[in-house]
Amino acid sequence: MELVEIKKLELVTNSFAIAEGVEKGHKPVIQLIRKYLADLEEFGRVEFEMRPFKTGGGTQKQEIALLNEQQTTLLITYMRNNDVVRAFKKRLVYEFFKMRRTLAAKKMDRNSARLEYKPMTEAIKHEREAQGKQISPHHFSNEADLINRISLGMTAAKFRVHHEIGKKEPIRDYLTPEQIHCITELQRANTVFIGMGWDYEQRKEALMGLFDKKHRQPLIEEQHRLAA
């Protein structure tokens, strides 16, 4: 498990990672968070969510708290200082600093993915108009679903359900850097293929080939890093 992660374009750590870092049980850390919740929420809302964790008996779900940098710093000041806690504080400072660069890159890639979507929709519109065919909203959603199924293994609608994302929230805020990069690249390639007059099946085959060649392994490696 990474100490610092990106959640909704914000850097956060979680109560389980904190407990491991200060070598305490998770229960007393959650209790401390709830005890000082009002103090912590002066720096933003503290979110709680259920996450799966591997145990000796298999995988179980456990409630964790997500804390931003200011909340985490405050929480640690409420802990008894010792060599382990001091070492964890230094590690935490370094991880938040390191992840700021990753977050900045993700924001840039997120904007690129959004910008690359428009040329793809324009290409669809131009191609259908050139063929004298009508344009319906599903022509655009079909292309988005094609890209998402290849990149994420599911449509945006299923991704929302799987990750419990609200209908009005963009899924881009929940994607990993590699996922965003993959979607951006496939959108760009698909725009070219549409302009070349390729049909849906031709484009699907070419995009899957591109995914296998350039993106499958980086995505697998990223998921292993996140799960470690």
Note the pLDDT tens digit of each residue in 7-28.
Answer: 877 889 999 999 999 999 999 9
- Highest average pLDDT, of 4-8, 29-33, 59-63, 184-188, comes from 29-33
Can you state the angle between helices 177-195 and 200-210, rounded to 10 degrees? 140
Residue 50 has pLDDT above 60, yes or no: yes
Same domain, 70 and 126: no
Same domain, 182 and 70: no
CB proximity list for 12: less than 8 A, separation 6 or greater:
4, 5, 6, 66, 67, 68
Inside any domain, residue 122? yes
Inside any domain, residue 158? yes
**Tokens at 62, concatenated:** 């456990």
pLDDT at 4: 86
Same domain, 54 and 121: no
Same domain, 20 and 131: no
Same domain, 66 and 173: no
Inside any domain, residue 70? yes
Residue-number span of the structural domain to which 62 is assigned: 5-80
Residue 115 has pLDDT above 60, yes or no: no
**Arithmetic mean of pLDDT over the chain:** 86
Yes or no: say if 86 and 15 are a contact pair by the CB < 8 Å rule: no
Yes or no: say if 194 and 124 are a contact pair by the CB < 8 Å rule: yes
Q: Is 73 exposed, middle or buried (0-12, 13-18, 19+ CB in 10 A)?
A: middle
CB proximity list for 148: less than 8 A, separation 6 or greater:
154, 155, 156, 159, 183
Query: What is the tens place of the pLDDT at every residue in 60-101?
Result: 788 899 999 999 999 999 998 899 999 998 998 888 888 887
Q: Which residue has the tokens 């292993």?
A: 224
State which amino acid sits at residue 43.
Answer: F
Structurally, the chain folds into a number of domains equal to 2
pTM above 0.75, yes or no: no
At CA 150, angle to CA 100 and CA 215, rounded to 5? 50
Query: What is the tens place of the pLDDT at every residue in 134-155?
Result: 888 888 888 889 999 999 999 9
DSSP state of 214: I
Same domain, 32 and 141: no
How does residue 117 score in pLDDT terms, banded at 50, 70 and 90?
A: confident
Same domain, 127 and 68: no
Inside any domain, residue 110? yes
